[in-house]
């Protein structure tokens, strides 16, 4: 079932990666680069969320908590203790992973989809409110600014690399590294025996357990791995945007955005969330003319996709599927859908 990168598909993937890597060399428009950077951040976020939700079947609605934790941790530590973001960002990922374990603990005991949705959402809301309440440190909704950018360095051939607001290219490559790294790690995980175990858990927890799959271990693993990636992305976001507010990195809006991207692209597929993130980030910008109606259209789009295209946009690529090996075979159902009454 999992053959996302069939041999024939490798060529297409290589072409896409190459296009992504040469883009800043041929197109210098700062705004375009900014859009692609955001697409990559949200794309990787969606991929990480989809790992927990689409593959392991843990339907969480609180992953923005990890994004916010990563962003605030890295920003505050690098700012207040003057430690380089190159160190604080990965540490922020680890902190988010630990938070992921904390959230996973109650989730281990609950199987009902609504309960998991509420506990994860509740956790994220707690984090958001705490960051708002401790405003001596975080400045709350006033916004945390003065976050240090990444330190520059000198590369042998290219010369000096500096990170500042005007120069997007270095950020672009860091974002590309995070994006491709997340996608690569996810692909490797999904294609490995671990991935099979996750899908088995999604399809039937009881059957998986009876086959000797350690539910606790795999759920903790997938939660912390996914939280690590999201926390790292949050940290990058903090040092890229350089301004944080609890509502911008911890609002439910952010989670809805990522959920929408994944659903519209195709939940439970490898390529879907990426496609969704790029289409929506760039599409929403293209719809700037309709300005305030963007979120209106967004909400309608989610409903329409859920109703009429439950497999998402990647289903449209299915014609190309066998040739390019794009995501196939999505299944939203899990045995843990609470039994219909009776």
Partner 1 sequence: MTLTLFLEQIVNGIILGSMYAIMGAGLALIYGTMRILNFAHGEFYMLGGFFVFFLFAQQGLNPVPAVIIAVAGVALVAAIVQRLTVHVLLKREGWAFSTIAATLGVSIFLQNLALALWGERFQSVPYFVDGLLQVGEFRLPWQRVLIFVVAVAVMGVMAYVLRYTRFGWAVRATAQDPEAAAVVGVPAARIHTMTFALGAALAAVAAALLAPVFAVNPWMGLPLIIKAFVVVVLGGLGSFPGAIAGGFLLGIVEAVGITLTSSEWRDVIAFGMMILFLWVRPWGLFGVKER
Which residues form the interface with partner 1 (CB under 8 A)? 59, 61, 105-106, 109-115, 117-119, 121-123, 125-126, 129-130, 132-133, 252, 256, 259-260, 263, 292-293, 295-296, 298-303, 306-307, 310, 331-334, 336-338, 340-342
Tell which residue, 54, 55, 103, 131, has the closest CA to residue 227. Answer: 103
d(CA 132, CA 139): 7
CB of 271 to partner 1, least distance (A): 19
CB of 117 to partner 1, least distance (A): 6
Nearer to partner 1, 117 or 185 (CB): 117
Nearer to partner 1, 59 or 239 (CB): 59
Yes or no: say if 67 and 45 are a contact pair by the CB < 8 Å rule: yes
CB of 303 to partner 1, least distance (A): 4
Nearer to partner 1, 62 or 234 (CB): 62
CB of 45 to partner 1, least distance (A): 17
Nearer to partner 1, 177 or 300 (CB): 300
Quickly tell me which residue has 């909704």 as its tokens: 141
Nearer to partner 1, 207 or 303 (CB): 303
Nearer to partner 1, 187 or 305 (CB): 305
Alpha helices in 110-214 (DSSP H): 113-133, 135-138, 168-191, 193-203, 205-210
d(CA 290, CA 124): 31
d(CA 33, CA 286): 15
CB of 105 to partner 1, least distance (A): 8
Using CA atoms, how far residue 145 sits from 34, 87, 171, 248, 300, in Å, is: 19, 19, 18, 13, 35
Tell which residue, 181, 179, 222, 271, has the closest CA to residue 57. Answer: 222
CB of 150 to partner 1, least distance (A): 33
Using CA atoms, how far residue 142 sits from 47, 81, 129, in Å, is: 31, 21, 14
């Amino acid at each position: 079932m999992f053959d996302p990168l069939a041999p024939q598909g490798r060529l297409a993937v290589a072409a896409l990666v190459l296009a992504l890597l040469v883009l800043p060399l041929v197109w210098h428009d700062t705004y375009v680069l900014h859009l692609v950077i955001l697409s990559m951040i949200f794309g990787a976020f969606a991929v990480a969320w989809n790992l927990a939700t689409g593959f392991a079947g843990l339907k969480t609605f609180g992953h923005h908590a990890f994004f916010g934790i990563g962003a605030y941790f890295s920003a505050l530590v690098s700012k207040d203790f003057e430690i380089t973001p190159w160190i604080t960002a990965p540490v922020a990922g680890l902190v988010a992973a630990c938070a992921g374990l904390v959230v996973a603990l109650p989730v281990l005991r609950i199987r009902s989809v609504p309960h998991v949705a509420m506990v994860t959402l509740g956790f994220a809301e707690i984090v958001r409110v705490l960051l708002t309440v401790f405003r001596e440190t975080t400045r709350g909704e006033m916004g945390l600014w003065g976050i240090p950018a990444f330190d520059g360095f000198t590369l042998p051939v290219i010369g000096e690399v500096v990170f500042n607001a005007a120069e997007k290219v270095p950020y672009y490559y860091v974002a590309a590294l995070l994006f491709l790294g997340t996608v690569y790690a996810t692909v490797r995980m999904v294609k490995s025996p671990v991935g099979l175990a996750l899908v088995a858990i999604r399809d039937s927890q009881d059957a998986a357990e009876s086959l000797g799959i350690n539910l606790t271990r795999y759920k903790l693993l997938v939660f912390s791995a996914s939280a690590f990636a999201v926390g790292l992305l949050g940290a990058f976001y903090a040092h890229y945007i350089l301004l944080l507010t609890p509502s911008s990195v911890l609002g439910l809006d952010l989670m809805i955005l990522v959920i929408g991207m994944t659903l519209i692209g195709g939940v439970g597929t490898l390529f879907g969330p990426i496609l969704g993130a790029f289409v929506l980030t760039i599409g929403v910008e293209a719809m700037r003319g309709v300005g305030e109606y963007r979120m209106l259209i967004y909400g309608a789009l989610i409903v329409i996709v859920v109703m009429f295209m439950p497999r998402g946009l990647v289903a449209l690529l299915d014609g190309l599927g066998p040739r390019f090996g794009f995501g196939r075979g999505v299944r939203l159902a899990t045995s843990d859908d609470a039994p219909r009454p009776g």
